[in-house]
Structure 1
């Protein structure tokens, strides 16, 4: 009996991890968001590059971060210091870990959905999603109070060094990765995850109606 309970709890944990990891994947690959920032903030001219040339470099960076078969970061117009390259390597490891979590939890989430659907218990999504809906607004509120400090804490949580502090003299890439872009990435992530929680909540509520 207790093994079944542990299994069920792990499936629910897997659901949350699936939603969070999926949100991260959608956010980090939102190249359209970077394009808008590059266009409206004129990031290319800041480093004497056209918009198209800048986007090419950005896609090269994304390819390195996303694909395990791309062993080294090589951009046409940017070279990075040893510290910056080490930081990008750490980010790549986090990206790949996120993909691994998403793949594994996709399986557990599928079985959770099938079990609840088979037992006509999709209504069980209601309470977990009602609770989860409060988390993104709370984190967003904390972030809005002082984004710079939030951004620093975020990096200190994920990294145990200061290699993420790029020097524009040696790592020009930081000139085209403004804080406003990262702020918008966080906002986008909050919107996506909040929508996901709301969707599962609606599924649960709809299931409750069918029981009446």
Structure 2
């Protein structure tokens, strides 16, 4: 049936985009090297009277809680958090778990989608969708660059239904070593990764198109 084929096709392309986005999220949130560079460059450890090693240990404990479902409670050696902060980190953990599930599920769909396109010699179909998608990260980057503070607020209001993300440095010292500039760099890294993924798929499509014409 025509409508069923159209629905299947829409689902496959949606799965591909979700796969790329969730993969980008997973890579970005686990880029501990980026935090390490910020910790050194901004001397974050000194702001809370810790050594660099101690700070990174706490950061890895935070990442372990956010990433692993078998870590049920957030426990860091040198930071204790308020009830609101703990609720926020629990909300973030749920989003991270959702990204993992989306990536795993869409990986299966994308595998068979790739195989179908390759078998039918239709990898050229990547060209138009990826040419369109390539405009999205630069557009978001411009919006973010104009006023990152406002963008940061919008981002949190979109993802979270409460204001627990507004940490009080007196109660939650962890926010002192998680500066806004670090999150801005995380967004930048994510945009570079997703833009690169779109570009790779575009090149695959163009190469396939060239082979068909030759």
Fold shared, TM-score > 0.5 on shorter chain? yes
- Tell me which interval the TM-score lies in, with the shorter structure as reference length: over 0.9
Task: Provide structure 1 residue ranges, at least 5 long, that are not aligned to the other structure.
Answer: none
Q: Report the counterpart of residue 161 of structure 2 in structure 1.
A: 160
Q: Report the counterpart of residue 127 of structure 1 in structure 2.
A: 128
Q: Distance in 2 between matches of 1:130 and 1:112?
A: 19
**Where does structure 1 differ by over 2 angstroms across 4 or more consecutive aligned residues?**
none
Q: Report the counterpart of residue 177 of structure 1 in structure 2.
A: 178
Q: Would you say how many aligned residue pairs link Structure 1 and Structure 2?
A: 212
Q: Report the counterpart of residue 16 of structure 2 in structure 1.
A: 15
Q: What CA RMSD, in Å, does the superposition of the two structures yield over aligned residues?
A: 0.4
Counterparts of 1:16-95 in structure 2, within 5 Å, are 16-95=17-96
Q: Distance in 1 between matches of 2:154 and 2:6?
A: 35
Q: Report the counterpart of residue 111 of structure 1 in structure 2.
A: 112
2:168 paired with 1:151: no
**In the TM superposition, what whole-angstrom CA distance separates every residue of 1:73-97 from its partner, at most 9, and x where no partner exists?**
0000000000000000000000000
Q: Distance in 1 between matches of 2:113 and 2:10?
A: 10
Shift of 1:4: 1.8
Shift of 1:184: 0.1
Shift of 1:3: 1.3
Q: Distance in 1 between matches of 2:30 and 2:126?
A: 28
TM-score in terms of structure 2 length: 0.98
Q: Secondary structure at the match of 1:90?
A: helix
Q: Distance in 2 between matches of 1:194 and 1:38?
A: 27
**In the TM superposition, what whole-angstrom CA distance separates every residue of 1:51-110 from its partner, at most 9, and x where no partner exists?**
010000000000000000000000000000000000000000000000000000101111
Q: Secondary structure at the match of 1:110?
A: helix
Task: Provide structure 2 residue ranges, at least 5 long, that are not aligned to the other structure.
Answer: none
Shift of 1:8: 1.2
- Per mean C-alpha deviation after superposition, the further-off stretch among 3-12 and 37-46 is 3-12
TM-score in terms of structure 1 length: 0.99
